[in-house]
């Protein structure tokens, strides 16, 4: 049983509001689900239903299952069909049958030239149960990825994946197979019984039950198999109304309420949470007193019910970037069967976060690239990359790496950088037709730098090879510094620790003086130095470093003038003479006035650098030699 933050509660089994209800182990209460949908349709004034502005996009290539005909149809009677979507775990490695897929040979054309697709049989139980539920709830169409995408058609698969955000955003309802470890498991309470029985007890004339955890209690704990997979995150976030099947009971979540089988809490009133707050992540004093319970819930609320744009007054640095950072933190702790799916599996929710063209480079927001490049594995997390096996993903993207836990942007500041600026960047990429193109980003002049423009026309063979492999290549005009990696910041370095586990290590100059720290693993730290670092940006240091982590030589100082008095021939009554001298004294500046340079440890292949780790050094220790062009693959 998952933990509920408020502990178990005893509820009487009555029909009155906010009392308990019986939950059958063998049969889910679909009649209750119809009631929830009616309440949402009738009383929530359209705040939970899909946004019609994007619905037209689904008319191109959208092919759901017609559950009344058991056919996958490619032409629909309406441009805005009401349909149900299914989100589930394939789990092919755990199934006792091969996962069935729609292939090109299944496509056929009937007499009126309407294309249909016969889906294979026997269907996996989860998909079969979803079809039965769709019929029972009065819907005609159901969308399931394994059947509604032609899996051996590369172009169709690409087009359908690019529509994933629209498909789940526009679904009238999304069925989630929360407790099903694979597609042939089934939905608990439909054809298979739930594994957990409701516990009841009669005391006198009253009957009581121990309440199941609330929706929030299982939604943010990793208890559900479905909630540990990479693909299901965007399906969960983008769905406007979610019907979650678990081994406990059914849960229903819309934009205003969450309902459950075990508690009679249906009401037609509107929530004072999500829809009433224009921006769920903005904590101004004039907002409603109610706040979501956790940053995770705030992130999900923001993405699901109040999508943020990248531009806007005071929005990006205070809401957009923290939302993006927590989204990546949540996503990277989930698992994927195929690493090559890392970007596809989150592309829909990234488009929801910012739908503008070329908004993201390899999963990082282009307009905030210097900050986004500072992602790091969590301390204690095992992580790795196979530089030669990357498929369409550069080394500087979190999507190219594997994590045992998650990664985060630990050094993300809530204010824009106060000192210096990020280096100009040339983003080389391949467009949709495979042609080489580029974007220029300069946070100072705003015009292409001559050296960077020249580097575009003279990319080396190695740089072009990496561009072909990863699809994106960064060109920096920046400085390169050399530092050593010393002992761990906390704890003792032990040979018993896995070599790929992330820890914080001190960085040192050539004389062994500390200049700050880096997050990396023993395998990297024990390599003989010195190591090369490229400068990414310069910021205020107060949120990053402590004075004890920087050698006194590099602590920023300022000279102050003091008058020194020397007395001569002093008597009991007066000074016979005095000499006044101006002397200079160095005083360490307050830590808030220090500056820190964010750096990236790199390894080189010819003239192309590859990310190894990121850290920061006190700016006074960085060797600001003449800038050079660095290509990062």
**The predicted structure's pLDDT at residue 364:** 93
CB atoms within 10 A of CB 14: 13
| 613, two tokens | 């780790």
pTM of the model: 0.81
* Nearest residue to 5 via CA among 297, 216, 179: 216
**The predicted structure's pLDDT at residue 212:** 87
Residue 157 CB burial class (10 angstroms; 0-12, 13-18, ≥19): middle
554's torsion region: left (phi>0), alpha (psi -120 to 50) or beta?
alpha
CB atoms within 10 A of CB 516: 25
The phi, psi pair for 521, rounded to 5°, reads -120, 170
DSSP assigned state of 499 = T
Which runs of E-coded beta strand occur in 366-510? 376-377, 383-384, 402-403, 407-408, 425-430, 436-441, 472-478, 480-488, 502-508
Give the residues across from 361 on adjacent strands: 364
Domain ranges of the chain: 29-215+233-269, 557-591
Q: For each successive 10 residues of the chain (633 residues), what is the average pLDDT?
A: 38 56 89 92 74 56 89 80 94 84 78 65 92 96 92 86 87 95 95 89 82 79 84 90 95 87 73 37 27 48 44 49 84 88 90 85 88 90 81 89 86 46 75 72 61 68 85 86 89 77 93 92 88 85 66 83 58 52 73 85 93 92 81 91
* Nearest residue to 631 via CA among 405, 477, 415: 477
- Residue indicated by tokens 């599996």: 345
Q: SS3 string of 11-61?
A: EEECCCCCCECCCCCCCCCHHHHHHHHHHHHHHCCCCCCCCHHHHHHHHCC
DSSP string, 104-170: GGGEEE-TTS-EEEPPPSSPPHHHHHHHHHHHHTT--EEE-HHHHSBTT-HHHHHHHHHTHHHHHHH
DSSP assigned state of 552 = G
**The predicted structure's pLDDT at residue 314:** 42
| 516, two tokens | 């700050």
Q: What are the C-alpha distances in Å from 117 to residues 102, 151, 240? A: 8, 13, 28
Roughly how many angstroms between the first and final C-alpha of the chain, as a whole number?
46
* Nearest residue to 125 via CA among 192, 174, 175, 27: 192
Strand bridging mode 425-430 / 595-605: unpaired
**The predicted structure's pLDDT at residue 36:** 92
SS3 236: helix
**The predicted structure's pLDDT at residue 438:** 74
**The predicted structure's pLDDT at residue 539:** 74
Rounded to an integer, what distance in angstroms lies between the CA atom of residue 481 and that of residue 353? Answer: 36
**The predicted structure's pLDDT at residue 110:** 65
| 46, two tokens | 């359209």
How many helices and strands (H and E) does the chain possess?
A: 14, 31
């Amino acid at each position: 049983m998952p933990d509920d933050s408020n502990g178990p509660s005893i509820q009487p089994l009555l029909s009155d509001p906010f009392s308990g209800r019986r939950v059958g182990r063998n049969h889910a209460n679909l009649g209750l689900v119809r009631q929830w949908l009616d309440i949402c349709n009738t009383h929530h004034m359209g705040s939970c239903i899909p946004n019609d502005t994007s619905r037209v996009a689904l008319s191109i290539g959208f092919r759901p299952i017609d559950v009344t005909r058991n056919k996958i149809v490619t032409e629909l009677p309406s441009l805005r069909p009401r349909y149900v979507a299914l989100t589930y775990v394939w789990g092919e490695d755990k199934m006792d049958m091969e996962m069935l897929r729609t292939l090109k040979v299944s496509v056929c054309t009937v007499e009126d030239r309407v294309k249909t697709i016969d889906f294979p049989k026997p269907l996996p139980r989860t998909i079969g149960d979803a079809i039965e539920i769709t019929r029972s709830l009065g819907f005609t169409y159901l969308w399931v990825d394994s059947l509604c995408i032609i899996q051996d058609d590369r172009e169709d698969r690409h087009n359908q994946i690019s529509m994933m955000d629209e498909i789940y955003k526009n679904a009238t309802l999304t069925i989630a197979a929360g407790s099903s470890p694979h597609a042939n498991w089934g939905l608990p309470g439909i054809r298979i019984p739930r594994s957990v029985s409701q516990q009841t007890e009669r005391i006198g004339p009253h009957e009581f039950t121990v309440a199941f955890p609330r929706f929030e209690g299982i939604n943010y704990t990793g208890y559900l198999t479905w909630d540990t997979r990479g693909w299901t995150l965007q399906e969960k976030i983008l769905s406007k109304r979610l019907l979650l099947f678990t081994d406990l009971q059914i849960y229903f979540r819309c934009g205003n309420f969450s309902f459950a089988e075990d508690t009679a809490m249906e009401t037609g009133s509107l929530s004072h949470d999500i829809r009433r707050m224009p921006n769920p992540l903005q904590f101004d004093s004039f907002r409603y007193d109610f706040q979501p319970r956790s940053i995770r819930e705030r992130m999900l609320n923001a993405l699901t019910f109040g999508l943020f744009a990248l531009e806007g007054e005071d929005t990006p640095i205070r809401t957009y970037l923290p939302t993006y950072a927590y989204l990546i933190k949540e996503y990277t702790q989930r698992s994927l069967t195929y690493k090559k799916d890392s970007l596809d599996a989150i592309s829909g929710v990234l488009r929801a976060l910012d739908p503008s063209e070329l908004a993201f480079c390899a999963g990082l927001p282009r307009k905030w690239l210097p900050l986004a490049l500072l992602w790091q594995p969590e301390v204690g997390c095992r992580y790795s990359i196979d530089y030669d096996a990357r498929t369409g993903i550069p080394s500087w993207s979190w999507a190219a790496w594997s994590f045992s836990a998650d990664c985060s942007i630990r050094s993300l500041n809530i204010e824009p950088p106060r000192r210096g600026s990020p280096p100009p960047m040339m983003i080389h990429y391949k467009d949709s037709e495979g042609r080489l193109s580029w974007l220029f980003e300069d946070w100072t002049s705003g015009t292409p730098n001559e050296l960077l423009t020249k580097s575009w026309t003279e990319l080396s063979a190695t740089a072009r090879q990496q561009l072909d492999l990863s699809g994106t290549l960064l060109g920096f005009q920046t400085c390169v510094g050399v530092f050593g990696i010393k002992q761990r910041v906390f704890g003792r370095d032990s040979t018993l620790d896995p070599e790929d586990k992330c820890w914080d290590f001190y960085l040192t100059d050539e004389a062994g003086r500390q200049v700050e720290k880096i997050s990396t693993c023993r395998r990297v730290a024990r390599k003989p130095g010195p190591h090369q670092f490229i400068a990414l940006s310069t910021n205020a240091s107060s949120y990053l470093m402590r004075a004890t982590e920087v050698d006194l030589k590099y602590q920023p100082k300022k000279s102050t003038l003091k008058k020194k008095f020397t007395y001569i021939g002093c008597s009991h009554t007066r000074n016979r003479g005095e000499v006044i001298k101006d002397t200079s004294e160095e005083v360490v500046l307050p830590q808030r006035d220090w500056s820190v340079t964010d750096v990236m440890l790199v390894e080189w292949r010819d003239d192309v650098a590859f990310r190894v780790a990121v850290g920061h050094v006190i700016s006074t220790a960085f060797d600001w030699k003449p800038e050079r062009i660095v290509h990062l693959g």
